[in-house]
């Protein structure tokens, strides 16, 4: 794979632009006329020519034959003939699809279609017997988008549509190579938009469709009734592996931005706020005037967000005047910017609205939260609102496998039917903050509970499901 990257360097110092399809101006309902049928053959005949078959080859070592024990003279003596006849390596082959996006051979597909391949072969529509070897231009595993290129010119290519103009109920077509049977077109509608938290990619903003997407369709085209490319098919939701009418495609606006960057730079570097976030729950809604957005539940001390003055429990409602509807929406929005970009963040704190400028950091794979403050053991346990908490001793950390960088108190028990139980507290939760008070030990917990005794208080909790904000009455 390293050789492939060395070969593509000459392609990086270029600019790339998509040819965009015209904006949608009208939607038309079908009507019955004698002798006339409704057909989309003409609409999709051109874009069909841009969808290619991708086959990959990957050399896999035979772990049995390559086991060091086969070098032992004893095994050589008794199993020599068997050993000699066993293949040292085998070649894994898989199939997928891709979409030509320029006449000089750039092709967009899913990263999982070509990931780990030693050889990538592309066959064009109506000519499956002739294959062209492709080079990897760039790939982005976090969005599952990759760009490859074949050395051909004057190729048919897809015109890209604006996925922001899509509506639920629009007719769409999935074009690809399911099960390796050759070019295939299936028809359906857009079932939903902006689907996130599906658990497929790190960055998700899927178009959901009931157009059949099957194995081999990955990387193929999702097109509208004009034949404009509006998405790249990527996955299905299925318990059996068959199609159940729940397919997902990466929207064209995300495809366009990431593909252009991969072609021009070879890789993706995303902007990074350095925060943990959650959606606004019903219990939190009244604390933010009923508005939606992304609630900050943790900040790295040296993060871009912290440097800009943002704090835990600030609700981010807009970035560069683009409304933020959820935690996933904020993640996807920030991910479209580059490190060192400056963005304007609008947020709510204590029911008042503020704005700040944030200079984004470079994205990190992992972010550690908490501090290394040692617990004050003057008070070891406390009971309040039906919840019993204890200091994080070394023994407790070992028992619950709590990292040393986490500070707070641990919930040792929750009284049945108490306000804490109703709020969602569970044994083993770690409480790290109550309103504006950081919790490092039981004394901090007691002081915070006393200060906010007669009010609903936000409590930052690390649970088995992740970081959450619970409201304790």
Residues with a catalytic annotation lie at: 112, 144, 218
Q: What is the three-class DSSP state of 213?
A: coil
**DSSP labels, 9-74:** GGGSSS---PPBPPPP--------BTTB----HHHHHHHHTTEEEEEEEEEEE-TTTTSGGGGSHH
Contacts of 254 (CB under 8 A, 6+ apart): 143, 145, 163, 203, 205, 332
| Count of beta carbons in the 10 Å neighbourhood of residue 424 | 17
Backbone angles phi, psi at 250, to 5 degrees: -75, 125
Q: How far apart are CA 396 and CA 393, in angstroms?
A: 5
Q: How far apart are CA 341 and CA 355, in angstroms?
A: 16
Q: Which two structure tokens, joined as six digits, stand for 420?
A: 């804490």
Q: How far apart are CA 344 and CA 275, in angstroms?
A: 16
Q: Burial letters for 13-23: b for 16+ Cβ neighbours within 10 Å, e otherwise? A: eeebebeebee
Q: Which residues sit opposite 298 in a β-bridge?
A: 276
Task: Report the DSSP pairing between strands 322-323 and 221-224.
Answer: unpaired
Q: Which two structure tokens, joined as six digits, stand for 288?
A: 């933010």
Nearest to 170 by CA among 204, 211, 206: 211
Token look-up 């004009």 returns 226
Contacts of 23 (CB under 8 A, 6+ apart): 162, 165
């Amino acid at each position: 794979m390293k050789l492939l990257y060395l070969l593509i360097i000459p392609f990086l110092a270029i600019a790339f632009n998509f040819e965009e399809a015209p904006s949608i101006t009208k939607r038309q309902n079908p009507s019955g006329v004698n002798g006339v049928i409704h057909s989309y053959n003409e609409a999709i005949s051109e874009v069909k020519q841009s969808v290619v078959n991708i086959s990959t080859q990957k050399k896999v070592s035979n772990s049995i034959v390559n086991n060091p024990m086969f070098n032992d003279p004893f095994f050589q003596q008794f199993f020599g003939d068997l050993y000699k006849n066993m293949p040292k390596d085998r070649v894994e082959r898989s199939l997928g699809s891709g979409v030509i996006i320029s006449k000089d051979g750039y092709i967009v597909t899913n990263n999982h279609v070509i990931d780990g391949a030693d050889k990538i072969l592309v066959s064009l529509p109506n000519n499956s017997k002739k294959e062209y070897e492709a080079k990897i231009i760039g790939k982005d595993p976090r969005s599952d988008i990759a760009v490859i290129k074949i050395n051909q010119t004057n190729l048919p290519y897809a015109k890209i549509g604006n996925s922001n103009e899509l509506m639920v109920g629009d007719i769409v077509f999935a074009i690809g190579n399911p099960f390796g049977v050759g070019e295939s077109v299936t028809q359906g509608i857009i079932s939903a938009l902006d689907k996130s938290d599906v658990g497929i990619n790190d960055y998700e903003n899927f178009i959901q469709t009931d157009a059949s997407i099957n194995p081999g369709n990955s990387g193929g085209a999702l097109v509208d009734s004009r034949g404009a490319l509006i998405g790249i098919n990527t996955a299905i939701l299925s318990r059996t592996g068959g199609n159940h009418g729940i397919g997902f495609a990466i929207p064209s606006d995300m495809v366009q931005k990431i593909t252009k960057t991969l072609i021009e730079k070879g890789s993706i570097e995303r902007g990074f706020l350095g925060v943990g976030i959650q959606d606004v729950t019903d219990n939190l809604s009244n604390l933010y005037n009923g508005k939606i957005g992304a609630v900050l539940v943790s900040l790295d001390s040296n993060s871009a967000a912290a440097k800009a003055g943002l704090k835990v429990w600030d609700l981010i409602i807009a970035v560069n005047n683009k409304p933020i509807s959820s935690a996933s929406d904020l993640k996807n929005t920030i991910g479209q910017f580059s490190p060192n970009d400056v963005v304007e963040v609008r947020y709510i704190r204590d029911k008042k609205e503020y704005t700040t400028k944030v200079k984004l950091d470079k994205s990190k794979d992992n972010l550690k939260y908490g501090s290394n403050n040692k617990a004050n053991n003057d008070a070891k346990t406390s009971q309040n609102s039906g919840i019993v908490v204890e200091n994080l001793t070394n023994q407790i950390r070992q028992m619950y496998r709590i990292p040393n960088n986490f500070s707070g108190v641990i919930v040792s028990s929750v009284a049945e039917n108490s306000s804490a139980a109703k709020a969602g507290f569970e044994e083993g939760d770690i409480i790290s903050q109550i309103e504006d008070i950081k919790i490092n030990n039981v004394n901090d917990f007691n002081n915070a509970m006393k200060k906010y005794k007669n009010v609903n208080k936000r409590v930052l909790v690390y649970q088995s499901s992740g970081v959450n904000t619970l409201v304790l009455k």
